[in-house]
Amino acid sequence: MTETPGRPASNLPPLSLHIPEPRYRPGDTPDFGDIAIPAVDATPRPGEATKPDAMRDLCYGLVRVLDFDGQAKGPWDPKLTPDRLRAMLRYMMLVRAFDDRMFRAQRQGKTSFYMKSTGEEATSVASTMAIDRSDMCFPSYRQQGILIVRDYPLIQMMNQIYSNRGDHLLGRQLPIMYSAPEHGFFSISGNLATQYPQAVGWAMASASKGDNRIATVWCGEGSSAEGDFHSALTFATVYNAPVIFNVVNNQWAISSFSGFAGGERTTFAARAVGYGIAGLRVDGNDPLAVYAATQWAADRARTNNGPTLIEHFTYRAEGHSTSDDPSAYRAADEATAWPFGDPIARLAQHLETLGEWDGERQEALRKELDDLVKTTQKQSEKLGILGHGMHQPFETMFQDVFEEMPWHLKEQSKQMLAEQEAKFGPNWKPE
Amino acid sequence: MNMIEAINSAMDVMLGRDDKMVVMGEDVGFFGGVFRATAGLQKKHGKTRVFDTPINECGIIGVAVGMGAYGLRPVPEIQFADYIYPGLDQLVSEAARLRYRSAGDFICPMTVRTPFGGGIFGGQTHSQSPESIMTHICGVKTVIPSNPYDAKGLLIAAIEDNDPVVFLEPKRIYNGPFSGYYDRPVEPWSKHEASAVPEDYYCIELGKAATVRAGEALTILAYGTMVHVTKTIVEEMGVDAEIIDLRTLLPLDIDAIETSVKKTGRCLIIHEATRTSGFGAELAALVQERCFYHLEAPVERVTGFDTPYPHSLEWAYFPGPVRIATALTKILKD
Ligand SMILES: Cc1ncc(C[n+]2csc(CCOP(=O)(O)OP(=O)(O)O)c2C)c(N)n1
Q: Of B135, B66, B65, B95, which Cα lies nearest the Cα of B282?
A: B135
Phi, psi of B222 (to 5 degrees): -150, 170
B126 is catalytic: yes
Handedness of CA A380, A384, A387, A390 (dihedral sign): negative
Report whether pLDDT(A1) > 60.
Answer: no
Q: Mapped to the 3 state alphabet, what secondary structure does A60-82 carry?
A: CCCECCECCCCCECCCCCCCCCH
Measured distance CA(A1)–CA(B290) in Å, rounded: 69
A274 CB within 8 Å of a chain B CB? no
Report whether pLDDT(A42) > 70.
Answer: yes
Q: Which of residues 402-431 of A touch B (CB under 8 A)?
A: 402-403, 406-408
For residue A147, report the distance from its CA to the centre of ligand 1, in Å: 21
Of all residues in chain A, the one with the smallest CA distance to B49 is: A208
The predicted model scores a pTM of 0.96
pLDDT at A212: 96
pLDDT tens digits, A302-348 = 999 999 999 999 999 999 999 999 999 999 999 999 999 999 999 99
pLDDT at A206: 98
Buried b (16+ CB within 10 A) or exposed e, B201-236: eebbebbebbebbebebbbbbbbbbbbbbbbbbbee
What average pLDDT does chain B have? Answer: 97
Regarding an ipTM greater than 0.90, the answer is yes
Measured distance CA(B102)–CA(B109) in Å, rounded: 14
**Which residue among A123, A140, A192, A228 has the greatest number of ligand 1 atoms within 8 angstroms of its CB, and so is best to mutate?**
A192
Contacts of B229 (CB under 8 A, 6+ apart): B178, B179, B180, B222, B270, B319, B320, B321, B324
- Which residues of A fall within a CB distance of 8 Å from B97? 189
Mean pLDDT lowest for which of A102-106, A169-173, A423-427, B96-100?
Answer: A423-427
Beta carbons within 10 angstroms of residue A323's beta carbon:
12
Which of the four pLDDT bands, split at 50, 70 and 90, describes residue A431? confident
Q: Which atom of ligand 1 is nearest to the CA of A316?
A: 20
- Which residues of B fall within a CB distance of 8 Å from A403? 99, 107, 161-163
Q: Which atom of ligand 1 is nearest to the CA of A254?
A: 11
pLDDT tens digits, A189-248 = 999 999 999 999 999 999 999 999 999 999 999 999 999 999 999 999 999 999 999 999
What average pLDDT does this structure show over B158-175? 98
B104 CB within 8 Å of a chain A CB? yes
Which one of B68, B86, B106 has the shortest CB-CB distance to A187?
B106
Measured distance CA(A223)–CA(A73) in Å, rounded: 33
Percent helix, strand, coil in chain A (nearest 5)? 40, 10, 50
Which of the four pLDDT bands, split at 50, 70 and 90, describes residue A301? very high
Q: Of A160, A220, A155, which Cα lies nearest the Cα of B102?
A: A160
For residue A145, report the distance from its CA to the centre of ligand 1, in Å: 19
Instruction: State what percent of residues in chain B have pLDDT above 90.
Output: 100
A9 exposure class (CB count in 10 Å sphere: 0-12, 13-18, 19+): exposed
**Which residue among A141, A254, A322, A324 has the greatest number of ligand 1 atoms within 8 angstroms of its CB, and so is best to mutate?**
A254
Q: Fill in the DSSP letter of residue A180.
A: B
For residue B112, report the distance from its CA to the centre of ligand 1, in Å: 28
Measured distance CA(B27)–CA(A282) in Å, rounded: 38
Handedness of CA B24, B28, B34, B40 (dihedral sign): positive
Phi, psi of B194 (to 5 degrees): -70, -5
pLDDT at A7: 67
Measured distance CA(A373)–CA(A102) in Å, rounded: 9
Of all residues in chain B, the one with the smallest CA distance to A186 is: B106
DSSP β-ladder status, B241-245 and B210-213: antiparallel
A69 exposure class (CB count in 10 Å sphere: 0-12, 13-18, 19+): exposed
What average pLDDT does this structure show over A86-102? 98
Measured distance CA(A213)–CA(A204) in Å, rounded: 10
B19 CB within 8 Å of a chain A CB? no
- Which residues of B fall within a CB distance of 8 Å from A397? none
Instruction: State what percent of residues in chain A have pLDDT above 70.
Output: 98
DSSP track, A296-323:
HHHHHHHTT---EEEEEE----S-SSTT
End-to-end CA distance of chain B: 42
Which of the four pLDDT bands, split at 50, 70 and 90, describes residue A10? confident
pLDDT tens digits, A137-179 = 999 999 999 999 999 999 999 999 999 999 999 999 999 999 9
B103 CB within 8 Å of a chain A CB? yes
What average pLDDT does chain A have? Answer: 96
